[in-house]
Structure 1
Amino acid sequence: MSFEKIPDRLPELLAPAGDMERLQAAVQFGADAVYLAGTQFGMRSAPSNFTPQQLADGVRFAHSHGVRIYLTCNIIPHNSDVEHLEPFLRMARDAGVDAFIVTDMGVMEMAQKVAPQVDIHISTQTGVTNYAAARRLYDLGAKRVVLARELSLEEVATLRAKTPKDLEIECFVHGAMCVSISGRCLLSNYFTGRDGNHGECAQPCRWKYALCEETRPGVYLPIDEDSNGSYILNAKDMNMSEHIPELLQAGVDSLKIEGRAKSAYYTAAATNAYRRALNDAIAGKPLTPWVKEELNKISHRQYSTGFYFGRPDESLTLGSYVRDYEVAAVCESYHNGVAVLSQRNRFFRGDTADVLEPGKAPYLVKMDHIENGDGEPIESANHAVMRVLLYTDTPIAPGALLRIRKQKD
Structure 2
Amino acid sequence: YEMYAANPETGTLFKLVEDEGIGTYIMNSKDLNLASHIQEIIDSGCIDSLKIEGRTKAPYYAAITAKVYRRAIDDYYAGESDPERYQKELNTMQNRGFTDAYLINRPFEKHDTQNLDFSMMMGTHQVSGIVDESGEYFECKYKTFPNDTMELVFPEGSPIEAVDNEIGKIWEENGEWHISFKQLLAENGKVWDQVHSGNLNRFKLPASLPPFTFFRIPATEDMGTITKC
TM-score range (shorter-chain normalised) is 0.5 to 0.7
- Map residues 290-305 of structure 1 onto 2, 5 A cutoff: 290-305=85-100
CA contact (8 A) 2:143 2:194 kept: no
Cα contact 1:370–1:391 (8 A) shared by 2: no
Shift of the alpha carbon at 1:296?
1.1
One of 386, 389, 402 as aligned partner of 2:201: 386
Taking the aligned partners of 1:293 and 1:354, their CA distance within structure 2 comes to 15
Question: Percent of aligned pairs with the same residue?
Answer: 25
Work out the CA distance in 2 between the residues paired with 1:319 and 1:277.
30
Q: How does 1:98-247 map to 2 (within 5 A)?
A: 209=18, 233-247=27-41
- The DSSP-based 3-state class of the residue aligned with 2:191 is coil
2:146 aligned with 1:331? no
Cα contact 1:370–1:389 (8 A) shared by 2: no
> What is the rounded CA distance, in whole Å, between the counterparts of 1:296 and 1:364 in structure 2?
19
Return closer, same or farther for 1:344/1:382 CA change in 2, 3 Å cut-off.
closer
Partner of 1:262: 57
1:236–1:319 Cα contact (<8 Å) kept: no
Q: 2:30, 2:192 → 1: CA distance? A: 44
Equivalent-residue separation in structure 1 for 2:217 and 2:179 (angstroms): 11
* Bigger strand share: 2
Over residues 58-98 of structure 1, what are the superposed CA-to-partner deviations in whole Å (9 max), with x where a residue is unaligned? xxxxxxxxxxxxxxxxxxxxxxxxxxxxxxxxxxxxxxxxx
Q: Does the CA contact (< 8 Å) of 2:53 and 2:62 recur in 1?
A: no
Q: Cα gap change, 1:319/1:266 in structure 2, threshold over 3 Å: closer, same or farther? A: farther
Give, in angstroms, the shift of residue 400 of structure 1.
1.0
Residue 63 of structure 2 is aligned to residue 248 of structure 1: no
Matched residue type, 1:383: G
- 2:140 maps to which residue? 343
Partner of 2:166: none
2:121 is aligned with 1:322: yes
Of 57, 62, 66, which aligns to 1:271?
Answer: 66
Structure 1 residue 319: Cα displacement: 5.8
CA distance in 2 between partners of 1:319 and 1:286 (Å): 33
Greater helix share, 1 or 2? Answer: 1
For residue 386 of structure 1, what is the amino acid of its counterpart?
Answer: N
Partner of 1:137: none
Deviation of 1:309 after TM superposition, in Å, equals: 0.7
Of residues 167, 172, 183 in structure 2, which corresponds to 1:370? 183
The equivalent residue for 1:113 is none
SS in 1 for 2:63: helix
Shift of 1:405: 3.3
Give the drift of 1:379. 2.3
Q: How far is the alpha carbon of 1:278 from its aligned partner?
A: 0.9
Runs of 4+ in structure 1 over 3 Å off: 230-233, 381-385
Counterpart AA for 2:128: A
Is 2:207 the partner of 1:407?
Answer: no
TM-score (norm 1): 0.39
Where do 5+ consecutive residues of structure 1 fail to align? 1-178, 182-206, 211-217, 219-229
**Cα displacement (A) at 1:401:** 1.3
Q: Distance in 1 between matches of 2:183 and 2:86?
A: 30
Q: CA deviation at 1:375?
A: 5.1
Deviations 1:206-254 (A, max 9, x none): x9625xxxxxxx8xxxxxxxxxxx9555322111111101101112111
Q: Would you say the 8 A contact 1:344–1:385 is kept in 2?
A: no
Q: Per chain length, whose mean CA-contact separation is higher, i.e. which structure has more relative contact order (CA < 8 Å, sep 6+)?
A: 2
